[in-house]
Amino acid sequence: MVSVPVAGSGRARRGEGEAMKAAIVTRFGSHWSIEIGEAPKPVPAAGELLVRVRAATVNRTDCGELRHPLIERLITRGQPRRTILGLDFAGEVEAVGDGVTAFAPGDRVFGMNPRSRPGAQADYICLPESGAVAAIPAAIPFDQAPVCEGAYYASGTINAFALGPGDEILIYGASGAIGAAAVQLARDRGARVVAVVDGQHVELTRRLGADRVIDRTTPEFTGMTERFGFVLDAVGKLPVRKWRRLLKPEGRFAVTDLGPWWQDAPFLLWSAIRRSPRVSVPLPARGSAPGFVRFLADRMAEGRFRAAVDRVYKLDEIAEAYRFVQTGQKAGIVVIEIPAG
């Protein structure tokens, strides 16, 4: 078992001798560089919550952080590289620091752990009560609650498009974490959703509320002649010639990933130069994460947003979870279960 000092907190005080179980990055690279070990249990500083994590996820952002720690360091403005990853969490507040008023021990909470701190693939995290954290709606179990990250990035596009009743959006890759969330967020705003997925994910995507679901391997999609006002490529795999054919002349195209050949980069650049919204990678507004998590909690409580869970792994199996997520073939989220006590 590895035992590594936790890099990347900078704020939470250390656990005064207590240790916790965590998935530790022993060296950066791939799924083979994650090992289960011990790390200091954090102690909540003033204004912070200590959360006993019950469910986390492994997502594409974690995989990117594992593979490209230097890029991650730029994103987090020079913070030390983290040795515990994990953005999404769901768990129970175990203790609170001085001055905390919004939460109390025993509260069930979920949200997104700041990237500048040790991540949620561990028994415990500390995060500010003013951060991206909200109460889990009563009917939602822990393993259905760590859903924020994909939804947060999906909201960047759905909000930028300002979708509403009467609008129609085509979402390509609608079964991924971002795509599955985008389907629900677009429907929530009253837009009509045409979702494009692989045949094996047609039923799932229908259950998420898409108005029309198309198997991307069939002539219904390969020979499609309809045009749309809004197209989201939620996985960065749509060939340029295809999205240009799907888009109305005044339509808007968004993509979440530039793809292996950066095929959309020239179009993004041209739109940026012309100050046109036609092609974009819409990111959520800076500082909007806490409000977004509360928004999502309300939608989950009303049954208007739910997790699409592909696989559930134990913390001890997390390297295998990374391996699976790295294939780029998961549908929705991959959950890491962390049993209590």
Ligand X SMILES: NC(=O)c1ccc[n+]([C@@H]2O[C@H](COP(=O)([O-])OP(=O)(O)OC[C@H]3O[C@@H](n4cnc5c(N)ncnc54)[C@H](OP(=O)(O)O)[C@@H]3O)[C@@H](O)[C@H]2O)c1
Q: Which residues bind ligand X (CB under 6 A)?
A: 59-61, 150, 153, 173, 175-179, 197-198, 201, 216, 234-237, 256-257, 281, 283, 328-331
Rounded least distance, CB 129 to ligand X, Å: 25
Q: Taking CA 327 as the corner, what is the angle to CA 205 and CA 231, rounded to the nearest 5 degrees? A: 40
Rounded least distance, CB 99 to ligand X, Å: 33
Rounded least distance, CB 236 to ligand X, Å: 5
Residue number with CB closer to ligand X (37 or 173)? 173
Rounded least distance, CB 205 to ligand X, Å: 8
Rounded least distance, CB 297 to ligand X, Å: 21
Rounded least distance, CB 277 to ligand X, Å: 16
Distances (CA, A) of 2 to 26, 37, 60: 8, 4, 25
Our measurement of the distance from residue 297's CA atom to the centroid of its chain's CA atoms, rounded to an integer in Å, reads: 15
For 279, phi and psi rounded to 5 degrees? -125, 130
Residue number with CB closer to ligand X (203 or 298)? 203
Residue number with CB closer to ligand X (43 or 288)? 288
Q: Where are the alpha helices (DSSP H) in the chain?
A: 60-67, 69-75, 148-160, 177-188, 202-207, 219-222, 240-246, 265-273, 289-301, 318-326
Residue number with CB closer to ligand X (39 or 87)? 87
Q: Are strands 228-233 and 212-215 parallel, antiparallel or unpaired?
A: unpaired
**DSSP 8-state class, residue 120:** S
Distances (CA, A) of 80 to 6, 72, 76, 152: 10, 10, 9, 25
Q: Which residue is nearest to ligand X (CB)?
A: 176
For 89, phi and psi rounded to 5 degrees? -145, 155
Residue number with CB closer to ligand X (44 or 236)? 236
Residue number with CB closer to ligand X (153 or 305)? 153
Rounded least distance, CB 92 to ligand X, Å: 26
Rounded to an integer, what distance in angstroms lies between the CA atom of residue 213 and that of residue 206? Answer: 6
Q: Are strands 192-197 and 133-135 parallel, antiparallel or unpaired?
A: unpaired
Rounded to an integer, what distance in angstroms lies between the CA atom of residue 12 and that of residue 5? Answer: 13
Residue number with CB closer to ligand X (82 or 201)? 201
